[in-house]
Structure 1
Amino acid sequence: MARVAIVTGGSRGIGRESAERLASDGFAVVVVYGGNKDEAQAAVDAITGRGGQAIAAQADVADEQAVAAVFDTAEKTFGGVDVVVHAAGIMYLAPVAELDLDRLDRLHRTNIRGTFVVDQQAARRVRDGGAIINFSTSVLGLALPGYAAYAATKGAVEAVTLVLARELRGRDITVNAVAPGPTATALFLDGKDEATIAGMAAQPPLERLGTPSDIAEVVSFLAGPARWVNGQVLRANGGIV
């Protein structure tokens, strides 16, 4: 029987690449999407077209009933849940002095409450021997102007990750966070001019932006062979910090 992974934010970017990578590793995958059913179905089709197993499921990650229903679906369809990759998130950029507080509330709801809700279900329902993988950001260490609200939400993600790893003692479940650096996704590229992008690409010693597949490689590692990596934040950023 295949191991089963739930991937939130699985219809695009790092989430989609992670879903496809886990499917190629032999996981049956539940691709969780927020609003774009067509993109989620395209991710499913890409996986099944290569002989993998996948279904799409819609959920607002901050809605505990919707998230519980996703886990129900995974259990009914594939028999259980072994890995949860929580890649869903939103980002608004503005200096502290200028940020619209409604946007702060939306960041909090999706990035903090959403992580807590997904992790709560994962803590209750991931099978022994599984893995929970959250997403932080390397911006937390870089402290870039304009990123205060977003980085603050990811600081909360790291706190939840490290505590949950210890709360799951005795179940052989690892809990880690991946903290990408600048990665060429729509979320990152949106609103940035070429000079800004070129400047960020020049920062790592490897002198390029990360790619979604670079991050999916780390997810694959944490979801599978990395059984002795637990309660950690893995900064996948080409060596910026």
Structure 2
Amino acid sequence: MGKEQMLIDVCLLAGRMMAQAGAETYRVEDTMTRMAAASGFPNSQSFVTPTVVMFHLEAMSSTHFARVNERGTDLEKIALVNSISRRMAEGEINLDEAHKMLKKLDEKSLSFPAWLQVVAAALASGSFLLMFKGTWNDYLPAAFIGGAGFIILLIAHYFSKVKLFAEFFAAFVIGGLAVLSVRLGLGRDLDLIIIASVMPLVPGVLITNAIRDLMAGHFMAGVSKGAEAFLTAFAIGAGVAVVFSFFV
């Protein structure tokens, strides 16, 4: 494999990994161009959308691309890829070493185990309830319902692979459990319990990245990410609304 093809593979791999981990569009493009510049190609071109990463090296006649099939949030992987690119730019590692490090990192799953994610969602839900000026009497119901909703989200996403359906079903379960807890006398403030319990489902990072991409001039990526965040928020609201329409 020639140097140019190796560089293209390295840049596309780094870009795809960062895009899949939820990095901002301008950060992905900057990382790819920095790595190319460090290898002696300062005029390379990159173009990134939420679903595809494209890269053109000035010495090549064709443009290469990599498909982004799955997207999530993994800030640790973003930081590690960014660190590899910076070390390459500073001359600490060469192109072959960067390729091996990226391949090894791509094979790793840095996500927290499912049980820990559920526990974190439960604690976050209870904490949000207190932040919204709820009472300690509703802390345990909110924590339990938030954790249960997150379990449903993981299960639904695993089987359906459709994010919007998973968010809708999780919000539906949260709304149903919240209504049930209030009717059984376990909780008091239905609205606060629901609001706190759905907070782990809210696409906060996606909304932030959409705004940052728009501010950086990446209008296509910013608008598409904003639309995805809007649809996710709509699915969450629709799930709760269905419960209210039948049981409240």
TM-score in terms of structure 2 length: 0.29
Bigger radius of gyration: 2
Instruction: Tell me: higher relative CO, structure 1 or 2? Use CA pairs within 8 A at least 6 residues apart.
Output: 1
Task: Write 1 or 2 for the structure with the bigger share of strand.
Answer: 1
Task: Write 1 or 2 for the structure with the bigger share of helix.
Answer: 2
